[in-house]
Structures are given as C-alpha cells and as structure tokens.
Amino acid sequence: MIESLGLTKTFSEFTAVKDLSFKVEPGEIYGLLGPNGSGKSTTMKMLLGLLRPTSGTARIAGHDIINDVVAAKRVMGYVPEEPVLPERLTGWEFINYVADIWRMPRGSQRQQDIEELLTLLDISDASNDLIETYSKGMSRKISLVAALVHRPKILILDEVQAGIDPRGAATIKEILNGLRSKGATILMSTHILEIAEELCVRIGIIKDGSMIAEGTMDELRMMAEGQRNLEEIFLALTGGPDMQRIAQYLRGSGESS
Ligand SMILES: Nc1ncnc2c1ncn2[C@@H]1O[C@H](COP(=O)(O)OP(=O)(O)O)[C@@H](O)[C@H]1O
Ligand SMILES: [Mg+2]
C-alpha cells in the first residue's frame, strides 16, 4: 500500500505540493493526473525517498519514507519521467547491473526472466546495442524493464507511456493489469487520458499541488456534473483551452496562402 500523509514540498518560496493525502491499495492502479507543473513528479519523488518532504510523510508497505527509507525503497520499482540511463552500457548489461544491485542470484532463471521482459517489450533485438543508440520510446521501455526486474510489489510510473508506440502501450497496459491482479500497488501519472480511463481504478486530479478531485470514473463524472469522458471531466475541473486568446492569435496570424 502507498499512503501519502499530508506530503508538502516547498522549493525556496514556492510550494509545489500542498498537504497531499491519498492512498493506493494493493491490487489497485491509481492515476495521478494534473496539468504540467501541478506537482505529480515532485509527489512521486517524495514517495520514492528521492526528495525530502518539507512536511508530511508517507508510508510504503507500512515503511515510513523518512525513518525507514531503505526498507521502503526495497519494495518499489520506479520509472522516472526522464530516465537517466548509462549510455555506454548495452541494454542487457544495464538490466544485469540493476539485477546485481538488487542482489538477484545470477543464473539461468534470472537470464530467462530478463529475456522474457525484453521480448515482451520488443527490445530483445536491441539488447546488445549501446543504450546511447536507443530511441526515446526504447529508453523508456528499458527503464521499465529495470523497474520490474526485482519484481517489486509497488510500482511508481511517471508518464511511462509517453512516446511509446501503440503496441508497446498495449503491452504495458496488459503487464500492469496482470501485476495489479496479482496484488501489486501501482501509482502512475499520464497525460494520455484514454489510458488512465482504461487502466486506473481510481484517479486523483491535482492542480497547483493540491488534490482537487479524487475518485472512480463514476464519482468524478458526478463531481464534474455529468461530463461523459475523462477528458471532459479533466478540462471541466482544471480548465480548458482559452478559446478567446486562441481566436485572437489566429486572427493575428492572417490568411494562409
Ligand atoms: N528542484 C526544483 N526546484 C524548484 N522548483 C521545482 C523543482 N522541481 C519542481 N519544481 C517546480 O514544482 C512544480 C511542480 O513540478 P512537477 O512536480 O515536476 O510537476 P508535474 O510533474 O505535475 O508536471 C513546477 O512548478 C516546477 O517548476
Ligand atoms: Mg512530471
């Protein structure tokens, strides 16, 4: 289980995350949604023990992220928004390096598990190429393999589907659903609202660092007064495009020839 207990993060004067509390149960995929800069990645980094909260705390599978951060980190897998990868290693070397860090026994079982994940995500053929040659989508896929390799029961995925091809996105969806049904706790952020709608049991929408709506699709639909899909709900709650300004801009750009 993930329990965010009043997490708050202030960068000098600016409060990026304000008193944020929510829970993700085992067997649940929770979608954290919100406009750019609303505090999703900052929240995730605090949950991961990578960024110290200004106040509040969180419990990861019962482990406090401030007093018991090592135990908390051990049960989590994380795909960052912008994975920083060792460019001079091959995909295969990188994943084995990660498996070594987790002290996974070297042997045929481990090799088989890794090969299976690489094949599932269509990057097996590239596994002997240097990571510096990988496309953005491939980098994200190898980062997902790295996050899954020690079979964590808690997954934190920051826009993992961004830049992934449709087959990859469908594969990730199946993997996450499979892990969820086996009891994994999954927190993910995404701007692809269709994915959130299909995958997430519950959704939290944050804006300016605060939770402005939380619930199942049905509950959110009621909050946004009967809007049908998540895009309409999201725009109703966080604000849609400024049509007046857009029209003004388009007028200024004149007739196209
Ligand atoms: N290290 C930092 N120093 C100062 N401001 C930061 C830092 N990290 C994030 N922020 C600010 O905090 C806000 C939330 O950022 P972030 O959590 O990355 O948003 P999101 O992931 O929802 O797009 C943004 O305004 C961002 O500029
Ligand atoms: Mg982010």
pLDDT at 115: 96
Instruction: Indicate which residue's Cα is closest to atom 24 of ligand 1.
Output: 37
Looking at the chain, list the stretches that DSSP marks H as alpha helix, in order from N- to C-terminal side.
40-47, 69-74, 91-101, 108-120, 136-148, 166-181, 193-199, 217-223, 230-238, 243-252
pLDDT in tens, 215-224: 998 899 888 8
Instruction: Indicate which residue's Cα is closest to atom 7 of ligand 1.
Output: 11
CB 29 within 8 A of CB 176: yes
Q: Is 181 left (phi over 0), alpha (psi -120 to 50) or beta?
A: alpha
Residues whose CB falls within 8 Å of the CB of residue 23, separated by 6 or more in sequence, listed in order: 1, 2, 3, 4
Q: Average pLDDT in the 218-237 region?
A: 86
Beta carbon of 204 within 6 Å of any ligand 1 atom: no
Q: Where do the domains of the chain lie?
A: 22-51+62-252
pLDDT in tens, 242-251: 999 999 989 9
The model's confidence at residue 255, banded by pLDDT at 50, 70 and 90, is low
End-to-end CA distance of the chain: 58
pLDDT at 221: 86
pLDDT in tens, 7-47: 999 999 999 999 999 999 999 999 999 999 999 999 999 99
Atom of ligand 1 nearest to the CA of 42: 17
Beta carbon of 12 within 6 Å of any ligand 1 atom: no
CA angle, corner 4, sides to 35 and 208, nearest 5?
25
Atom of ligand 1 nearest to the CA of 34: 22
pLDDT in tens, 161-196: 998 999 999 999 999 999 999 999 999 999 999 999
pLDDT in tens, 138-156: 999 999 999 999 999 999 9
Beta carbon of 38 within 6 Å of any ligand 1 atom: yes
Residue 49 has pLDDT above 90, yes or no: yes
Residue 116 has pLDDT above 80, yes or no: yes
pTM, to two decimals? 0.94
Based on the number of CB atoms within 10 Å of its own CB, is 26 exposed (0-12), middle (13-18) or buried (19 or more)? middle
Closest by Cα among 27, 92, 2, 38 to 234: 38
What is the chain's mean pLDDT, rounded? 94
Which residues lie at CB < 5 A from ion ligand 2? 40-41, 81
Residue 204 has pLDDT above 80, yes or no: yes
pLDDT at 218: 86
Q: Ligand 1 pocket test: which of 11, 15, 17 has the largest number of ligand atoms within 8 Å of its C-beta?
A: 11
Give domain 22-51+62-252's CATH architecture: 3-Layer(aba) Sandwich (3.40)
pLDDT at 77: 97
Residue 257 has pLDDT above 70, yes or no: no
pLDDT at 252: 85
pLDDT at 198: 93
